[in-house]
Chains A and B, each alone.
Chain A
Amino acid sequence: MAAPHISLELTVNGAAHAVAAEPFSTLADVLRDTLGLTGTKIGCDAGDCGACTVLLDGAQVCACLVPAAQLHGRTIDTVEGAGPQGVTDQLRQAFLSHGAAQCGICTPGMLMAATALLTEIPAPSRPEIEAALGGVLCRCTGYIKIIDAVEDVGARRVREPAVANPRAETDADTFGVGRRAERVDGWAKVSGRELFGADAAPEDALWMRVIRSPHAHARFVIGDFAPLMAATPGLVALVTAADVPGENSFGIFPDTKDQPVFAEQHVRYRGEAVAALVGSRAALAQIADSDVPLAWTPLPALTGIEAATAKGAPALHSARSDNVLTRGRLARGDVAGAHAGAAASASGTFETGFVEHAYIEPEAGYAVPDADGPGTITVHASTQAPYMDRDEVARVLGVPKEKVRIVPTACGGGFGGKLDVAVQPLLAVAARKVGQPVRIVYSRTESMSSTTKRHPSRITAKASADAVGHLLAYEMHGDFNTGAYASWGPTVANRVPIHATGPYKVPHVFNLTRAIYTNETPAGAFRGFGVPQSAIANETLMDDLAEKLGLDRWQIRRRNALGRGDTTPSGQVLQYSAGLPECLDALKPAWDKANIDAAAHNAIDARYKSGVGIACMWYGCGNTSLSNPSAMRITLGRDGAVTLWSGAVDIGQGVSTVLVQIATEALAIPGLRIELNATVGDTGTTLDAGKTSASRQTFVSGNAARLAALDLRSQLLRFANAGDDAGIARDGDALCFGTVRRIRFADLPAMIEGFGTYDPPTTALDADGQGSPYATYGFAAQIAEVEVDMRLGTTKVVHIHAAHDVGRAINPTLVEGQIHGGIAQGLGLALMEEFIPGRTENLHDYLIPTTGDMPPVSVHIIEDVDPEGPYGAKGVGEPALIATAPAILGAIRHATGVTVRKVPVLPHRLWELIRQLQD
């Protein structure tokens, strides 16, 4: 029940406004809904994320916590304004040149927090910046480039305010491969104009709210909706499974579509959708879940791998009587024999919990019926996989794929969590039912409780080596809790056995995995598909072996590191790029110094112990042994406009920029600027570039973009009758071919199109997991330096050194951004993040790193060029994260003597282990 509206006069970005508002609504509501200033973002609506930070009379506040009633006569500055003394504009330019905005959802909040700081302290110190930005969470950048940008404005290194898209003045020559080009979509992000899932919808869109199960396992009966409908003006429809026209199920693989869009009488996890309300926003705000006629019968829930695999455990799905969704396997050589003949063996059991993606943008979007012709549905949503979404929605609606169009909005972070559909089928079913546009915005808790997580794991492994530390055998059994539904469980089960040894030469390997159903939140894709979990096991065992054999931990890794010409456990010979030895060599000076420093420190400090750890990783780019093609199109119009039509969704990592850089390099026409199509990933106007996952877009779509640009170039040469080696350059309104021919754009054919497709060469795996599952692998090594308070069990990461073989850094700024952000997520995985259904469903109980948690990071980019990659490039998105957690665990062990086999290493857990060791 809302109080009557009150009239407010307020000044926003220097302009006076008179508005009417519900007094208990918030400043964020007034800005976004009444004034249309959607640059202010909502990530949690609870003060926890700071995305909504604006200035109220000059002081930074969370717009989601300020009552509208308090706004009369106040002055507000938002990201849309220049800021006091133009400070916000100055920051914008610095954010652009530093690559401080990745997905951009936190950027408005960061800009405003920084504006408040710089207005008060014009040249702040780094700790002052960290403190002032401490209330804004960023999940993409690891904060480093953001703080750099603010520091630069403070130090007046960036003076020029940016007030228009600076790319307008950018010459194509500065946009080639290897350049630190500014993001092609950067201006939208730093100006607050980027439209994310919650930022736009048609005027006549109805709102949708999903009713979700509060129980982990239950039966339910739906009662009569008529009384509620009759009692609630503005409530247009209640949507349930009965309204799903096609298949009421979705899932990643054709044989694992086991999750209902709306549950039917039976729910398998807390947060599962059972029904939805559709109507005016005001009407929905009045209806409590308890008003909806649902009768629940809670049932005992299977929580955890052990319960689900116990003898006699009830089956979640009838097709899997043992609750094992799928198994993975890799076998090579004679493991038992090799263990027996080894000089040293090490083994252990390792546990990880659910980890939440915690993208700052909760899922949101809208669906419009019949927008592209009768019977069509157009879904606008924040997604990583528009083409998969399209196929899924078509199946759910029971219509041909051509009837469904997915238009991705800007994506405020994904990390794998937006690879599964969430709002898409719900919106489509509702819009079809009511015949009108329908929109939805998930709350933070809804996002966290209903969408996928990183798989919890229990991994038992054993590694053996000879007397000088050469690995002989590796054996692993890994169980992965896939939650109530399959999602990407099969991918995790298949990818882990291939990677589980770590990036080492191991002749005898036997790896088994299982993905197991439980009554918990579905686990899906999250940056690394199970490899971050298995890396914790193998890297700890490497430290164990080093200790047993009296070897240096760097040394044992260097000795075993996979390099060019070596054979992987799946029997694949690494013909080309495999730069792990180079990564390790790059880190050696830092390793030696850090060890000396730690020893010196520990000699004099009994309480705060320093430790150094090291870990390596590898990661196959692209799908495992599955075709995953990408297609790109590039056009040249008679107006001289070159457009790259990209279907590869940019989730903040910067693939749009990378593709333009690659295409610019391939097209090689100085003076000609390549634009990106307006809606990247629109299934109506782009070709299928595949999903943005598996660190594949730079490698796979990059190749497609290169081929498309080369195709365009050769068509131009043909049209001009010029030889293949003729140069092309732009000259005003014409193209010059060599020194002889000049053709005006207006005289070109109406539209010249170049096409490129690429599918990485892989082979199928046999029953023993042998084959060439990936065309290329990314490699990395990282060192963590930590300081542990031995009395309180708290760990502070004081430095990370990261060496990554990326093949070729198409854009070093973006590569560094991926590495920083991955390290922040790895740090969270190691030290603080643990999703527990029903208990850590918001961003104050589920902790992710803040500005003050990030250490300095020294990045070493290693370029072992891969001839298969575009200009030699490989992926870096997932590799960034994998080595961090094991390196931190190694450092904790070095500092304390305690081997941690369970993450996160919360202070109380480490304290307990230290106490056990001391007793």
Chain B
Amino acid sequence: MSAYHRPTTLDEALRIYAEDPSLKVLAGGTDIYPGKATRAAWGDMKHQGILDISRITHMRGFTETPTDWWIGPLTTWRDIIDADLPPLFDGLKAAARGIGGAQIQNRGTIGGNLCHASPAADGIAVLQSLRAQIYTCYWNGPETTQNAPIISPMHVAPSFVIASFIEGSRRTKLADSAIVTNISVSGKGRGYFRKLGSRAHLVISIAMVAAVFDWDERGNVRTARIVVGACSPMAQRISALEDILRGKPLDPALALPEHFSMLTPIDDVRASADYRRAAALQLVKDVITEAAEDQRNVRR
């Protein structure tokens, strides 16, 4: 009999998970159920036991502290759309509006998007542009070997900057029996997001761009973080371009193909590799153009 657990506290969840590391964590289920359908379609009927964390309600929603914004992993896309947030999160909100349809936005969570670690995950690119910090936790049982800070006698809580959390397509640094418990974001600026697909709604990105820009009173770029998703096994920072933009007025003409050399797009049914590369450049230019307009409007 495969199990189904519905703990109401993190403690309980971690303990259950430690006892049975084969369990699958379920938040909104919008990746888990389609995955099950895909396997069953060709006769693979297995499914793992489930650790349903949706009742751990304190892991949902935004909390503002003097230094950070904390985002619970169970925060849904709809929660994000509805939340009252500074412009730093405009990109996150735009991404949320473009995920699936309203049905998926009402159920899918940012933690699920992060842990599923799809190369086309819209949320991951945004979190990377926000330089989010990912907090995880697992039970400090007798077998714990992980060399990580121990925040309570019972918990081991490694945290990662987002870029190091994602290891590759569908791979994260999440330890066995660990759960993402929090996501923190700090900093200033304004967030942007653009995604490209072959239809209007319900579309997986062919390419996407998430960015955060901050500029000084003269309109010169102070911070630029630009991330391209769906063009490599994991979303990529376009650091070469960020370096060039810094200290200058926002200008899309500064974005050049050579800044995108770290992308390793694939040819697949959605698009060719060449196209993805070119589209990424264009989307980045579009985002810079949009930011430049905002900068002018804000100053006016």
A603 within 8 A of B: no
Known contacts A47-B100, A65-B107, A844-B204: A911-B33 contact under CB 8 Å = no
Interface centre among A47, A287, A792 (most CB of B within 10 A): A47
Q: Which single member of A70, A135, A832 contacts B52 (CB below 8 Å)?
A: A70
Closest 3 CB pairs of A and B: A135-B101, A289-B43, A852-B200
Known contacts A285-B45, A443-B37, A839-B269: A134-B4 contact under CB 8 Å = no
Known contacts A135-B104, A793-B275: A3-B40 contact under CB 8 Å = no
Q: How far is the CB of A881 from chain B (nearest CB, A)?
A: 18
A4 within 8 A of B: yes
A702 to B197, CA, bound (A): 43
Residues 14-66 of B at the A interface (beta carbon under 8 Å): 26, 28-30, 33-34, 37-38, 40-47, 49-50, 52, 54
Pair B102/A60 contact, Cβ less than 8 Å: yes
Pair B103/A50 contact, Cβ less than 8 Å: yes
Q: How far is the CB of A130 from chain B (nearest CB, A)?
A: 8
Pair A851/B200 contact, Cβ less than 8 Å: yes
Interface residues on B, range: 35 or more
Pair B41/A62 contact, Cβ less than 8 Å: no
Using CB atoms and an 8 Å cutoff, list the residues of chain B in contact with chain A. Answer: 1-4, 6, 26, 28-30, 33-34, 37-38, 40-47, 49-50, 52, 54, 78, 100-104, 106-107, 196, 198-204, 206, 269-272, 274-276, 278-279, 282-283
Pair B41/A136 contact, Cβ less than 8 Å: no
Known contacts A443-B41, A834-B269: A64-B33 contact under CB 8 Å = yes
A44 within 8 A of B: yes
Pair B37/A46 contact, Cβ less than 8 Å: yes
Q: Which single member of B50, B52, B102, B269 contacts A845 (CB below 8 Å)?
A: B269
Known contacts A134-B200, A849-B199: A24-B47 contact under CB 8 Å = yes
A26 within 8 A of B: yes
Residues of A within 8 Å of B6, CB to CB, are: 23, 69-70
Known contacts A285-B45, A288-B46: A66-B29 contact under CB 8 Å = yes
Tell me whether chain B's interface is mostly helix, strand or loop, or mixed. loop
Known contacts A46-B37, A65-B107, A288-B46: A131-B102 contact under CB 8 Å = yes
Q: Which single member of B2, B4, B46, B282 contacts A69 (CB below 8 Å)?
A: B4
Q: How far is the CB of A180 from chain B (nearest CB, A)?
A: 29
Interface string of A274-313 (1 = CB under 8 A from B): 0000000000011111101000000000000000000000
Residues of B within 8 Å of A116, CB to CB, are: 102
Q: How far is the CB of B273 from chain A (nearest CB, A)?
A: 9
A239 to B87, CA, bound (A): 62
A35 to B52, CA, bound (A): 24
Q: How far is the CB of B111 from chain A (nearest CB, A)?
A: 16
Q: Which single member of A3, A26, A445, A831 contacts B33 (CB below 8 Å)?
A: A26
Residues of B within 8 Å of A62, CB to CB, are: 30, 103-104, 107
Pair A44/B269 contact, Cβ less than 8 Å: no
Pair B201/A852 contact, Cβ less than 8 Å: yes
Residues of A within 8 Å of B4, CB to CB, are: 3, 6, 23-24, 67, 69
Pair B33/A832 contact, Cβ less than 8 Å: no
Q: How many residues of A contact B (CB 8 A)?
A: 75
A86 to B271, CA, bound (A): 45
Pair A23/B103 contact, Cβ less than 8 Å: no
Interface string of A41-56 (1 = CB under 8 A from B): 0001111101001001
Pair B41/A445 contact, Cβ less than 8 Å: yes
Q: List 19 A-B contacts (CB under 8 A).
A: A3-B1, A3-B49, A3-B50, A23-B4, A24-B50, A45-B37, A46-B37, A62-B107, A65-B103, A67-B52, A135-B103, A136-B101, A214-B42, A445-B37, A445-B41, A792-B279, A792-B282, A792-B283, A908-B276
A1 within 8 A of B: yes
- Closest A residue, CB atoms, query B105: A135
A130 to B101, CA, bound (A): 10
A791 within 8 A of B: yes
A2 within 8 A of B: yes
A841 to B41, CA, bound (A): 10
- Closest B residue, CB atoms, query A794: B196
Known contacts A26-B33, A132-B102, A135-B104: A831-B269 contact under CB 8 Å = no
Residues of A within 8 Å of B278, CB to CB, are: 911
- Closest A residue, CB atoms, query B4: A23
Q: How far is the CB of A703 from chain B (nearest CB, A)?
A: 40
Residues of A within 8 Å of B30, CB to CB, are: 47, 62, 65
A701 within 8 A of B: no
A853 within 8 A of B: yes
A326 within 8 A of B: no
A906 within 8 A of B: yes
A47-B30, A116-B102, A849-B200 known; 20 new pairs, CB 8 Å cut-off, are: A3-B49, A47-B33, A47-B103, A65-B28, A66-B29, A66-B107, A67-B50, A113-B102, A135-B100, A135-B101, A135-B102, A212-B42, A288-B46, A289-B44, A445-B38, A906-B270, A907-B275, A908-B275, A908-B276, A911-B278
Q: Which single member of A1, A137, A832 contacts B198 (CB below 8 Å)?
A: A832
A46 to B31, CA, bound (A): 9
Interface centre among A44, A50, A116 (most CB of B within 10 A): A50
